[in-house]
A and B are shown apart, each in its own frame.
Chain A
Amino acid sequence: MGITGERENYLSDFARFEKDISKNGQSWFGEIRRKAISRFAELGFPTTRHEEWKYTSVAPITKIHFNPCGYELNGLTVEKVRRAAFGELECSRLVFVNGYYSAELSSYRPLPGAVHLGSLAVALSTHRELVGPHLARYASYEEHAFTALNTALMRDGAFVNIPDGKVVEEPIHLLFLSTAGREPTVSHSRNLIVVGKNSQATIVESYVGLGESVYFTNVVTEVVLGENSVVEHVRLQRESRKAFHIATLQVHQSRSSTFSGHSVSVGGALVRNDVNAVLDGEGVDCTLNGLYLVKGQQHVDNHTRIDHVRPHGTSRELYKGILDEQSSGVFNGKVVVWKDAQKTDAKQTNKNLLLSENAEINSKPQLEILADDVKCTHGTTVGQIEEEQLFYLRSRGLDREIAQGLLTQVFAGETIGRIKIEAIRTGLEEILLTQFQKDKKHGETVQ
């Protein structure tokens, strides 16, 4: 079946789906869904002829017929959920199974008054006044085929609404578990996070595959920052090694807001992470950090785009990659400084560590500057583990593997170390550590 054929399948999925949603109080959103699906029909899946998809072929996704997911626990227990989450992290946790909100597995801790936390599917029906002004207003379904597909076909996800002047101290964890079985399935999860003026929140999004099955996660998250708000956002992707994961994180920042994003990607067969931030106010601060760790035949593509629209904005970007065996990676970081965005200060760095001669990275920093009084720098490095360092550690009695693991961890630590909340940082360090160790013994398993 060709690309066109699979496009038809999604269109017929939509036709079936449209009948369901017209019944449940979500019909107000139907028009946007229809616009999105017709835009998807026009765009089709991107090919490597598209500049933005030059090094990432989504042909494997277009060749498989994925059925929409169902809510299936498949033996999932609260204990298993706890293990799939960050162990020590005390927080409210929204759990999604195959893209559907799970009331039985989610847990809530006390939150400041008027903070809304829950299923987006429910909020679409019950809180139109909160959802309506933001949903699908930032992530462009006009330009991006996968976003269009998500916008048309999304069923559920998280809706977090923090009103003005609320500081949410504890992190909020959105945990997406896949229990997919034998048949390939797809979920189009959608998250909307709205943080009001002078408010503060920490959001953790994690995607975990609980088996070795083939499935496709196509997720879009929109984060909206009100004036002077502060948001720390951590995204951890550890899907099954056979999974496809296409994700867009769309950040919209108002005046004097601060966003720190950390994207950690370890799982998946074919992974594409798009992170776009629009700095739409004066004095906005935006940090986008990332870490990708791949091996085997894994392919991971990180595309970031930062739009400096107003003056006095600061952006900092550090993406680090560790690639082993025959894995491949892409880093494409675009910084656009618009005409009005004078006094912009932007710095972008991408560093890669290749652990094998067969691993490959394509790194492309792009600066487009239309203002004339700005400070912008970017840099890319690609290197191997330094033999001198390795020998130094070995000469003190450490195994070659352990020494290499330590040096790799140290390399990764530069990004992880920048996450402010200690429990998240140590949780991630532990996950990476088991990743390094398990990889050595078993090669394949993520869990």
Chain B
Amino acid sequence: MLEIRNLHASVGGKEILRGIDLKVNAGEVHAIMGPNGSGKSTLALVLAGRETYMVTAGEVIYEGKNLLKMLPEDRAREGIFMAFQYPVEIPGLNSMTFLKAALNSIRKHRGLEELDAMDFLDLAREKMKLVDMSEDLMKRPVNEGFSGGEKKRNEILQMAVLEPKLAILDETDSGLDIDALKVVANGVNALRSEDRGMILVTHYQRLLNYIVPDYVHVLFNGAIVKSGGKELALELEAKGYAWIEEEVREACQVDLQEGGHAA
């Protein structure tokens, strides 16, 4: 479904991603963990098409297409969804109006009939139950005056309504209390399916108690330095990121020594 090869990206001349390789198949849930500044959010935003990041090398193939050449709106229509770490407030724009416009834009692209107001409301209500979202909240402008937890739930609601093929969750768990975390996790679990891929970007292992991943990758200094099964997350939780840093440093020194000999 998604194949990232040697992806390099920078912002303001500073290189953040330094050669990412990752393959996600339909039905798989991949967790990407890493310390602050490792490039987790950058990876998510590059996949979603944020133009402030410049891709300097590498490629991303999504369903056989060059993802990096696609506009953000086309990526969304082709089934990519990113839940924002910091969902954006849009004063004055009604949440339901926005979500209906988004859904119909995607449906139109998929050759489906656009939903009218009544059918959309039925669908939205059903999905709202999934993330325990009140209808009153959805009558308000997009994210305006929402609490942190409400904003994150709104992201999951949008995901549930838009039914992406590939969902990327950028630190959706950060800043949530345990109840909100459970609601978000339940929402995500309900959306797990054989034909949907998921990338969970997270700082904390805690999320993975509720959403069990198929693979865990550790991102450090802009590259994936370790990959494994779900047990890797527990190891990280027990030992902390310092352990990885140590390993990486040793590996680098080996590289340097080898490099030195070669020169």
Contact = CB atoms under 8 A, between A and B. Distances in A.
Interface of A: 387-389, 391-400, 402-403, 406-407, 410-411, 413-414
Contacts of B52: 387
Given A397-B109, A398-B105, A392 B73 contact: no
Interface stretch (B89-97, B189-197, B244-252): B89-97
Contacts of B87: 392
Given A391-B50, A391-B72, A396 B92 contact: no
- Which 10 pairs of residues, A with B, have the shortest CB-CB distance? A410-B92, A397-B76, A396-B102, A392-B88, A394-B72, A397-B105, A397-B106, A394-B73, A410-B93, A397-B77
Interface size class of B (residues with CB under 8 A): 20 to 34
Contacts of A413: 92
A414 B101 contact: no
A386 to B, nearest CB: 8
Contacts of A395: 48-49, 72-73, 75-76, 81-82, 84
29 contacts: A388-B88, A389-B88, A389-B90, A391-B49, A391-B50, A391-B72, A391-B88, A392-B87, A393-B90, A394-B71, A394-B76, A395-B49, A395-B72, A395-B73, A395-B75, A395-B81, A396-B76, A396-B81, A396-B102, A396-B158, A397-B105, A397-B106, A397-B162, A398-B102, A402-B101, A402-B105, A406-B98, A411-B92, A414-B92
A277 B76 CA distance: 51
Contacts of B105: 396-399, 402
The prevalent SS among residues of A at the interface is helix
A410 to B, nearest CB: 4
Nearest to B72: A394
Contacts of B106: 397
A407 B92 CA distance: 9
Contacts of A397: 73, 76-77, 102-103, 105-106, 109, 162
A406 B73 contact: no
Interface string B55-89: 00000000000000001110111000110100110
Contacts of B88: 388-389, 391-392
Interface string B99-129: 1011101100100000000000000000000
B109 A393 contact: no
B50 A400 contact: no
Contacts of B162: 396-397
A391 B86 CA distance: 13
A345 to B, nearest CB: 25
B172 to A, nearest CB: 15
A400 B93 contact: no
Nearest to A410: B92
Residue of A389, A396, A414 most packed against chain B (CB within 10 A): A396
